[in-house]
């Protein structure tokens, strides 16, 4: 199972996410680093485990207040072997293709940023597209057709339960099972609520392909030896 650390970027620094309430995000405090500089935070993750993939949320781009492309390029220069999965709120197919052509990583298409299914219908077969199905409480955030049109999904899906992000409440196993039942063998990645090794083992037992983690790494509840058997 793939363990993917999360970097939430806002104003060029890493912030601490909690329950999807972006107006309440604050500069990161972590046991892994004394700063919230993205390069230092990513280095802190590497001190725990040789991760291959990192999820980056460009919160400024998602909220339409700017972007952190300069920071993404810094991360690529500092860690050229790292694979970045980047959610930057793109919803237009042409803009998504331009971003992919820039070679910064895989593009995460967040359902909350979509107005319709046009982007996924056009790019679902692209090898560097990942779809994030975003949920808050019991509600899907995005066009209902995107949740219903399974044929437009790419081969990798993030199931994001925003209310569980940074909450320490455990992964949303019921929702993950529901998506797995209709996903026709696609790789499913859990996001939100992962607390410890036991949660990762539960996800692995459910056939989940990977998990996005942040708080449990920063707090020291997940350590390198917890990840070696995953």
- The domain that holds 189 is classified in CATH as 3.20.20.70
What does DSSP assign to residue 191? E
Report in angstroms the alpha-carbon separations of 86 from 43, 147, 189, 196, 222. 18, 21, 14, 24, 23
| pLDDT (0 to 100) of residue 200 | 96
Average of per-residue pLDDT across 171-184? 95
| pLDDT (0 to 100) of residue 230 | 72
CA atoms within 13 A on the CB side of 101: 6
Q: If you compute the radius of gyration of the chain from its CA atoms, what whole number of angstroms results?
A: 16
| pLDDT (0 to 100) of residue 21 | 65
pLDDT tens, residue by residue, 124-171: 999 999 999 999 878 999 999 999 999 999 999 999 998 777 667 789
Q: How many domains does the chain have?
A: 1
User: Is the pLDDT confidence value at 25 over 80?
Assistant: no
Least confident stretch, 29-33, 79-83, 135-139, 209-213: 135-139
User: Is the pLDDT confidence value at 213 over 70?
Assistant: yes
The confidence band for 229, taking pLDDT boundaries of 50, 70 and 90, is low
| pLDDT (0 to 100) of residue 17 | 72
| pLDDT (0 to 100) of residue 105 | 97
> Residues for the chain: how many in total?
230
Q: Residue 223 contacts by C-beta under 8 Å, 6 or more apart in sequence? A: 48
Q: Can you give the residue range of the structural domain that contains 136?
A: 2-227
Cα three-residue angle 205-163-49, rounded to 5 degrees: 50
| pLDDT (0 to 100) of residue 214 | 93
User: Is the pLDDT confidence value at 24 over 80?
Assistant: no
């Amino acid at each position: 199972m793939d363990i993917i650390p999360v970097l939430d970027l806002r104003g060029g620094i890493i912030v601490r996410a909690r329950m999807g309430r972006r107006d309440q995000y604050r500069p990161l405090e972590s046991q892994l680093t004394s700063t919230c500089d993205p390069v230092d935070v990513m280095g802190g993750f590497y001190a725990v485990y040789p991760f291959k993939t990192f999820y980056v949320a460009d919160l400024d781009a998602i909220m339409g207040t700017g972007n952190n492309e300069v920071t993404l390029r810094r991360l690529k220069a500092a860690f050229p072997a790292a694979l970045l999965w980047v959610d930057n709120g793109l919803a237009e197919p042409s803009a998504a293709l331009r971003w992919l052509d820039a070679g910064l990583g895989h593009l995460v298409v967040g359902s909350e940023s979509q107005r319709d299914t046009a982007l996924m219908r056009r790019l679902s077969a692209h090898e560097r597209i990942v779809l994030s199905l975003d949920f808050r409480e019991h509600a899907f955030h995005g066009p209902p057709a995107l949740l219903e049109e399974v044929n437009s999904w790419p081969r990798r899906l993030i199931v994001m339960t925003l209310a569980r992000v940074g909450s320490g409440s455990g992964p949303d196993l019921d929702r993950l099972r529901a998506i797995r039942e209709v996903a026709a063998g696609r790789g499913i990645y859990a996001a939100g609520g992962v607390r410890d090794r036991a949660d990762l083992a539960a996800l692995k037992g459910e056939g989940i392909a990977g998990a996005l983690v942040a708080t449990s790494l920063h707090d020291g509840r997940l350590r390198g030896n917890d990840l070696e058997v995953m």
